[in-house]
Structure 1
C-alpha cells in the first residue's frame, strides 16, 4: 500500500489520506508529489467540489516533515530546495479554487500544522494535540505556515502560538479560532460529511467563484514575497548547530 490513499466519492469530495502510520503520517517526497498532483486534479476537475486532507489511523494527522528522510540536508541550499518544494505545494493548496478541509484525526506537529493551516477549514477530533513546535527544533515554520497563520488569525493569537512552540489542545485552538469544529471521535469522517453537506449542495461554479474571491488577496507579489521569505529564513536556520543538535536528539530518541 502506498504512502497516500486517494478516494473520490459520489458527492464530489476528494479524500487525500497520508498513509504512513509507522511514521506518524510524516511527509516525505512521495507524499509531496502525490499532494501536488491531487491539488492540480482538484483545480482542473469540473466534478470535484471539496478536497479533504487527513491521516491514516486515529493517532496522527501529520507529524510534519519526515526528519529520518531529510536529516541528510545540512547546508541551507539543500534545505531550501526541500522547503521551497513543499512551500510551493502549500501555496497552491492555499489558493486552489475549491474549498479545502483538514480533518485532524490525531496529533498534528510542526509542518502538519502548516499543512492544516493552508486549508480553509480545520475540523479536529476532540482530545487531539497540535503544535507549531518548530522553535524547539531551532528553526521556524518553513513551508509558509507563519505567513498563513498571521493571515488567518488575529495577530497576537498567531504570535502566541508560534512563540510558545508547544503542544496545545484542539479545544484551546478552537477558542483561538484555528479549529473550526470539534468532532466527537466516534466517526469523524461521517461528521465531516455532515458539516460539508450544505457546501456540497452548491454547484462547482458557485464554489469556484466564492473561493476565487477569497484567495485573490493571496495571489499578489507582496504576499508571495512574504511567504517565500519565510522559507528562506528557515533554510538559514536549518544549517545552525541548534537545529542539528535537535534533530540528532529526535532521531536518537526515535
Structure 2
C-alpha cells in the first residue's frame, strides 16, 4: 500500500494525502520524498492553483516523524540529516508560490503541527486536538516549526503553545489564530473546496503574485539562518539521554 495518495482535481487543487492511518499518518522517508516531489509539481505546473495536505482516515492528520523508523538515529549528526531533510521540504512548502492548506481530518501533534504551520491556511475537523508536544520527548521543534509559528501567530500565543507541549482543543487553536475554519464531520473535502472557491476563481499569475509578495520576507538569509539553527538545536537535544529515554518509553508503550 502506498504511503501517499495524490489526486489532481479539474478545478486546480492537488490533494496530498498521507496514507498511513495505522501509524497515525506519521512521516517516514517515503512520505518526505513524495511531499518534496509534489511541492515541485505544484510549483512548476501552471494548471495547479492550490495544494491541500491531509491525512487518511478520521483519527489523525499527522503525528509527526515515525519514531519506529527513526529510533535508530542516536547522534546529533544522524538526527540532523533526517531533521534537515524534512526542514528543507517544509521551507519549500512555506515559500511555495501557490496557496497551501492543511486539512486537519484528525489530531495533529509534534511534527504534524509543524507541517500544518508551513501551510498558509489550516482548516480542521471540530472536536479534535493539536499540539506542539515535542517538549514531552525531550526535544524542540525539529523541522522549523517554532520559527514559522513565531512568524504566523502573536508572540504570546506561539510561545504558550510551544512551552505547554500539550494537546490543545482545536477551538483554542481557532482563538489563537492557528486554525482558520472549523469543518463538520460530513464531506470535509467539499467544505474545503467551498472555502477555496474564491481563490480557485483567480488566475495562476494572480495567485503567484500575491504569494510571492507574502513569502519574500522568508526568503532572506536572516530567516533561513534562524530556521536551520532551530533544526540544529533539535539535533543537539536528540542525542540527549532524556530524549533516548522518552523514545524507549514511547516504543515500549506501542
Q: Deviation at 1:209?
A: 0.4
2:207 is aligned to 207
1:91 is aligned to 91
1:63 is aligned to 63
In 1, distance between residues paired with 2:248 and 2:106?
25
2:179 is aligned to 179
In 1, distance between residues paired with 2:72 and 2:136?
19
3-state SS in 1 of match to 2:6: strand
Moved over 6 A (4+): none
2:151 is aligned to 151
Deviations along 1:171-221, one digit per CA (max 9) or x if unpaired, are: 100000000001112111110000000000000010000000000000000
In 1, distance between residues paired with 2:229 and 2:181?
31
Q: TM-score, normalised by structure 1?
A: 1.00
Gaps of 5+ in 2: none
Gaps of 5+ in 1: none
3-state SS in 1 of match to 2:14: strand
3-state SS in 1 of match to 2:98: coil
Q: What does 1:41-60 align with in structure 2 at a 5 Å threshold?
A: 41-60=41-60
In 2, distance between residues paired with 1:29 and 1:109?
18
In 1, distance between residues paired with 2:12 and 2:210?
17
In 2, distance between residues paired with 1:214 and 1:189?
26
1:102 is aligned to 102
In 2, distance between residues paired with 1:200 and 1:250?
42
Q: Deviation at 1:30?
A: 0.1
In 2, distance between residues paired with 1:58 and 1:208?
32
Number of aligned residues: 254
